[in-house]
Amino acid sequence: MAEIKSTLELVMERTRHLTLTEDEKREQAVAEFKGSLGGLLQKVQDGIISPERFRADLRTLEEGSRLSGSAMLIEELSPRLDLDGDNAWALNLIHDVFGVKTDELTAIFREYREARDRLTETLSRQIQSLLAERHGISGSAVVPNCDAAPDWAAESGHLRERFQTVLNQALATLKMGSPG
């Protein structure tokens, strides 16, 4: 009777002669490293591990893979940074890992929030003025809902895009200045 082979056995037979090139091996190693680095970053972001533990785990990861995580760290951190969110954990991590000051990044986040607050204040005053003129509604109890205003989405989107570009440039500069 014929032997029944599993899918894995069939795949192994057909790919037995195939080997990875050095470039493919490096790409695979980099992909695995980035995945592990992303997992470590998520643990720091969630407060599961401390920055000190992150540094130790990163060192172990670098030694095991013979890759440097500095430039990749910036690459993996970038999408996790949120102009509207709390980025203290990431700024502390960048400072701890690179030993560089994060004043420029902190300033970008602060300037964005100040610009957003000014935009909100301006739009609130416009809405209050419009309500008073058209409907006779005024007073301290009137709290405009800027999110429902037609101009808010476009205005805040442009502001966010402008500051995101500035943030991306600062991160690229930081990445170029990092070893590895």
Each residue's pLDDT tens digit, 49-104: 988 899 899 889 888 887 777 778 888 888 999 999 999 999 988 888 778 788 99
Q: What is the pLDDT confidence band of residue 178, given thresholds at 50, 70 and 90?
A: low
pLDDT tens track for 97-153: 778 788 999 999 999 999 999 999 999 888 888 888 888 888 887 888 888 888 888
User: Which pLDDT band holds residue 180 (cuts at 50, 70, 90)?
Assistant: low
Backbone angles phi, psi at 97, to 5 degrees: -75, -45
